[in-house]
Structure 1
Amino acid sequence: MQDMSELAIASGQIDGDSTSLSTATGARPQVVERIGTKRAFDVAAAITGLTILIVVFVLVAACIKLSSRGPVLFRHSRIGLNGQRFDCLKFRTMHVDGHAVLEKHLAENVCARAEWERTQKLRDDPRVTALGKVLRKSSVDELPQLINILRGEMSVVGPRPIVQAEIVRYGTHIHDYCSVRPGLTGLWQVSGRSDVDYAQRVAFDCEYVLRRSFLLDLAIILRTLPVVFAARGAC
């Protein structure tokens, strides 16, 4: 049976202009996430985090503006609940011409190209600024996603938010991914992050969807703190 992305691609409905993956495919009715304890927790956590970390936001924003040209925040289209696209927010960690830099680097470096095709990440990424390396290592670059959580686009815990090009890698498991909001942290983030290959990432996302509960979310949050402090798997 064709997977969800193949059906959509065949019909020409998944492209840069589409707004809903689930609407484009029609392969399964939209899954409406149950509103309750999880959403209430997300809102409370986002408001608390933004309030406590306001000074950190200001300091990081100032450092970014002073260290390199370009905006403070980086907005990137990601796939969310029910396949809806949203702008995932991060502190900018790359040079503004990062896409051209990456293409040149991959064209000239066979090992880097193989790593990118395998994980969609590079341990030695030429696009990243000196400050950006620090922000990524500490995961501070992801703090603006608290705004995404407050908007209802993300959750504190969930699958990592993916981009359009990654849909095909999920195959039929894209249904599972789209059934919940992507998270600021999740099983992948506390289980190795960049140290695991892409197939394992998909497996972690599917496992979370299968086992999800408020108690599991709390366990993942508690595991996230030492992982962030130790910078395990960050790049």
Structure 2
Amino acid sequence: MYDRFGKRLLDAVLAALLLGMLAPVFAAVALAVWWRLGRPILFVQPRAGRHGRPFTLIKFRSMAEGRAPDAERLSGFGRALRASGLDELPQLVHVLRGEMSLVGPRPLPLSYLAHYSARQAQGLRVRPGLLGPGVAAGRNEVAWPQRLELSADYASRPARLGRDLALAFRSLLVLLRGQGVSAPGHATMPAFAPSDHPRRGDKG
């Protein structure tokens, strides 16, 4: 029941409640972004949804406009915003509309799809999530091969309420600790590329 109907129903109800309860937080974050970074307040980018179908993801902007490297565009304010996870709050709208779930693999850029192995593509079998296995494991501290394997493993099994609750709890702990804002040696997370596939003999 949870896999077929309950998960989607719970997503819609909780997303609606959270959007109403967190309206003051939305307003405060939007004002802070406008004050520190100016317009636009929202970052907009096409992402891969369930079965690879594209949707336009929105989040609060955390970097300055321009073509400079991420390290130069990410200020202390932006880094703190990312660490808190508050920049992701607008994605509750996607959860309400059914484009995302509260728990699932994170939605990734469409350009990554062409580089997935058959196993990694299994992560597209479910709706992407606001929280989920990649976030619970440490967000951007987790290398691409492991991160995509976690997504594939999640999507290859029927949804279970207990597992989703555990992943949500662990994800929130990661966010509260401000963990995983960036990959080691990077300002954010480097783009996924074919070279990130594990080679034969690799244990990762």
Q: Into which bin does the TM-score normalised by the smaller protein fall?
A: 0.7 to 0.9
Give the corresponding residue for 2:43.
74
Give the corresponding residue for 1:36.
5
SS at match of 2:181: coil
CA offsets per residue over residues 103-138 of structure 1, 9 Å max, x none? xxxxxxxxxxxxxxxxxxx7xx22223321111011
Q: Does structure 2 retain, via aligned residues, the 8 Å contact 1:69–1:96?
A: no
What residue identity is the alignment partner of 1:178?
L
1:41 Cα deviation after fit? 0.7
Does residue 101 in structure 1 map to residue 63 in structure 2? no
CA RMSD, Structure 1 to Structure 2 (Å)? 1.6
Distance in 2 between residues matched to 1:175 and 1:133, nearest whole Å: 30
Give the corresponding residue for 1:216.
163
Give the corresponding residue for 2:54.
85
Q: Does structure 2 retain, via aligned residues, the 8 Å contact 1:158–1:183?
A: yes
SS at match of 1:96: coil
Superposition TM-score, scaled by structure 1 size: 0.72
Give the corresponding residue for 1:56.
25
Q: 154-163 vs 188-197, which deviates more?
A: 188-197
Q: 156-165 vs 129-138, which deviates more?
A: 129-138
What residue identity is the alignment partner of 1:87?
T
Give the corresponding residue for 1:112.
none
What residue identity is the alignment partner of 1:136?
R
Q: Using the aligned pairs only, state the percent identity.
A: 36
Distance in 1 between residues matched to 2:156 and 2:163, nearest whole Å: 11
What residue identity is the alignment partner of 1:62?
L
What residue identity is the alignment partner of 2:40?
P
Distance in 1 between residues matched to 2:111 and 2:119, nearest whole Å: 15
Q: Which runs of 5+ in 2 are unaligned?
A: 183-204
What residue identity is the alignment partner of 1:204?
L
Give the corresponding residue for 2:125.
179
Higher-Rg structure is 1
Give the corresponding residue for 2:81.
135
Q: Does structure 2 retain, via aligned residues, the 8 Å contact 1:139–1:234?
A: no
Give the corresponding residue for 1:46.
15
CA offsets per residue over residues 127-160 of structure 1, 9 Å max, x none? 2233211110111100111011111110001111
1:43 Cα deviation after fit? 0.5
Superposition TM-score, scaled by structure 2 size: 0.82
Q: Would you say how many aligned residue pairs link Structure 1 and Structure 2?
A: 179
